[in-house]
Amino acid sequence: MIRIFDTHVHYDDAAFDSDREEVLASLKDSGVLRVTDIGAGIASSKTALELSRRYPWMYCALGVIPGQCSELNDETWEWLQAAAAREDKCVAIGEIGLDYHWDDDPADVQKEWFSRQLRLAAEVSKPVVIHSREAARDTIDIMKAEHAGDIGGVMHCYSYTKETARELLEMDFFFGIGGVVTFKNARKLVEAVEYIPLSNLVLETDCPYLAPVPHRGERNTSAYLGLVADRIAEIRKISTEEVLEAAWHNAHRLYKIAET
C-alpha cells in the first residue's frame, strides 16, 4: 500500500481558496495520508492551525518566515509562544530561517528572529522547519550557536551542496526534497540526494509552489509527490517503493508523530 506523508504544504495559501476542500478530499486517492501545513507568518500560521484542527490527518507548524519579520511584535510573539506550547496539532516551529535572495527584512533582523524562534522550539521541545536561501554559512552558524542539533528538524527545500549537507548531518537534520529535484538544472541537488543517507530524506511539495516536471509552472499539490519519489529512486538506483516507505517512517520521526 502506498503511504505518503507530505511534510511541507501551504494549503492555507490563497491559491486553494476556490477548491481547498475538494483538493484535500482527493489526496487519499494518491496515497497521501498525512500532511503538515507550514506557517509562513502569523496569519498563515493561524490558518494552518485551524486547518489542522479540522482534518485529523493534518498537522501544522507555526512560525514566521524571513521576509515577514515585521509582523513580529510583543502581541504576535506572545500568540506564537502560547500556541506553540499549547496546541497538540502543532508539531514544529517553522518555517523560520534566513533568505538573502530577497531584501524584505535586513539580515540582522532576520538573524535575530531566527535565533529567537530556534530558542522557542527548544522551549516547547518541538523540531524546526528551516528556510535558507543564499544564506548557507550564516544559517549553519546560527544553528550551531543555538544548538539546533539538540532541537532537531528539517532543512526545507534543500538546495545547497553535499558539503553543506555534511554539516547538517552532523546535527542529524532531515532534508526536505520536492519538485526541484526533477528540474534539469538541479545538478547540485542531485549530488546531495546521492550523498544524503536515505534515513535523513523526507518528501515535501511546498505546494502550491515548485511543482515537479512535467507539471512545472502549474499549481502544485501533494498528489504529485509520487513523481518526486520516482526521481529520487532513479538517482539512488533503488525502487520508488523503498523511497516512499523510508520517507514515511522518516517523516514521523521528524515530527515525533506515532505511525498508528
Residue 82 has pLDDT above 90, yes or no: yes
Domain residue ranges of the chain, discontinuous segments joined by +: 4-255
Q: Looking at residues 58-65, what average pLDDT do you find?
A: 98
- Among 204, 181, 197, 206, residue whose Cα is nearest residue 246: 197
Average pLDDT score over residue span 65-70: 93
pLDDT at 89: 98
| Pairwise CA distance, residues 208 & 222, whole Å | 9
**pLDDT over 90, % of the chain:** 96
pLDDT at 260 over 90: no
Whether residue 209 contacts residue 199, with contact meaning beta carbons closer than 8 Å, is answered with no
Inter-residue contact 151 to 121 (CB < 8 Å) = yes
Is 103 a residue whose pLDDT tops 90? no
**CATH fold for the domain made of 4-255:** TIM Barrel (3.20.20)
- Exposed / middle / buried, residue 87 (Cβ in 10 Å: 0-12, 13-18, 19+): middle
Does the predicted model carry a pTM greater than 0.85?
yes
Q: What nine digits make up the cell of 89?
A: 496539532
d(CA 198, CA 194): 9
**Could you tell me the three cell numbers for 21?**
476542500
Q: Say which residues have a Cβ less than 8 Å from residue 134's Cβ, sequence separation at least 6.
A: 99, 100, 101
Share of the chain above pLDDT 70, in %: 100
Name the average pLDDT for the chain. Answer: 97
- Strand (E) or helix (H) holding 53: helix 42-54
Q: In what order do the strands lie in the sheet with 32-38?
A: 4-9, 32-38, 58-62, 90-99, 128-133, 153-155, 174-177, 201-203
For 233-242, what is the mean pLDDT? Answer: 98
| Helix residue spans in the chain (DSSP H) | 20-26, 42-54, 74-86, 107-124, 136-145, 148-151, 162-170, 187-195, 225-236, 240-255
Mean pLDDT calculated for residue range 101-127: 95
Look at strands 153-155 and 128-133 and give their pairing: parallel
Given this model, what pLDDT does residue 137 score? 97
The stretch 59-75 carries a mean pLDDT of 95
Q: Say yes or no to pLDDT of 102 above 90.
A: no
Q: What is the DSSP letter of 200?
A: G
Task: Give the per-residue pLDDT at 234.
Answer: 98
CA–CA distance, 42 with 49 (Å, rounded to integer): 11
pLDDT at 104: 82
- Sign of the alpha-carbon torsion through 102, 103, 105, 111: positive
Per-position b or e across 33-50, b if 16+ CB within 10 A of its CB: bbbbbbbbbbebbbbbbe
pLDDT digits (tens, 9 = 90+) for 139-195: 999 999 999 999 999 999 999 998 999 999 999 999 999 999 999 999 999 999 999
CA-derived radius of gyration, the chain? 17
Is the per-residue pLDDT at 78 higher than 90? yes
